[in-house]
Amino acid sequence: MKKAVLSCICMAVFALDAKATVYSLAPTPGNLGDLDHNSFLAWGLNWALPQGETITAATLSFTKIWDWKVEPDALYIHLLDTAPLGVNSWTDNEGGGDFFASSLFNSLGIAHVKLAEWSDPFGGNPAKAHNLSFAFNAGQLTALQGYLNSAGANGWARFGFGFDPDCHYYNSGVGFNITTVRRSVPEGGSSALLLGMAVGSIAYLRRKQCV
């Protein structure tokens, strides 16, 4: 019983103490050039994790994305350890397959993890455009945290995203949200309140044991 109560007190302290912040990042152009099927793209970012904060969640999102016609299609998305700063694209003439999983890309020595592979179930109909969100799993969050620990070379980013659209995807915008938490020791009245809660609970438990 004592352990259970003390655990609840500790959980309450940490919950009151956690201060969440959401950082919202967007590319230029905001729609990544409508993800032309003749190209593959990289979006390099130099965002750095503020000291004392820990990443708890991350989400890559697309607003009103749709394939320009009914066809077999695939949008491949990877998290990259580094990439040229900003949005850059290279021509592949819709070569087919995932460029960022190819031996050519892997020969560059850039670490990466696959985030998603998406296909429009309709196609050819802007009225059926999708709002997509890809939330990072635990492994992807760990990779992001690791990629942020090292700065890129001159003109290169701390981390980035790779997009290979094997079809043409119109969209109204792409965004990346990072949620962090900072934990600090409570001060002033909150410290006294929490200490009072702990002492009062322990005293109550001791009285119960003596009865």
Selection from 38, 97, 77 nearest residue 174 by Cα: 77
pLDDT digits (tens, 9 = 90+) for 75-92: 999 999 999 999 999 998
Res 152: pLDDT: 82
For the chain, domain boundaries: 24-182
Instruction: Count the neighbouring beta carbons within 10 Å of the beta carbon of residue 60.
Output: 22
pLDDT of residue 73: 95
pLDDT-flagged residues of the chain (< 50): 1-16, 191, 194-195, 198-199, 202-205, 208, 210-211
Residues 106 and 33: their CA atoms lie apart, in Å, by 25
Q: What are the distances in angstroms from CA 111 to CA 42, 83, 186, 209? A: 14, 10, 39, 57
Rounded to 5 degrees, φ, ψ at 160 are -165, 180
Positive or negative torsion for Cα 74, 79, 80, 85: positive
Per-residue pLDDT, 11: 44
- Reading the block at residue 129, the tokens are 């455009």
> What pLDDT is recorded for position 190?
52
Q: For residue 120, give both structure tokens.
A: 């429009």
Determine the distance from the C-alpha atom of residue 163 to the mean position of all C-alpha atoms in its chain, rounded to a whole number: 15
CB 66 within 8 A of CB 128: yes
Residues 6+ away with beta carbon under 8 Å from 103:
none
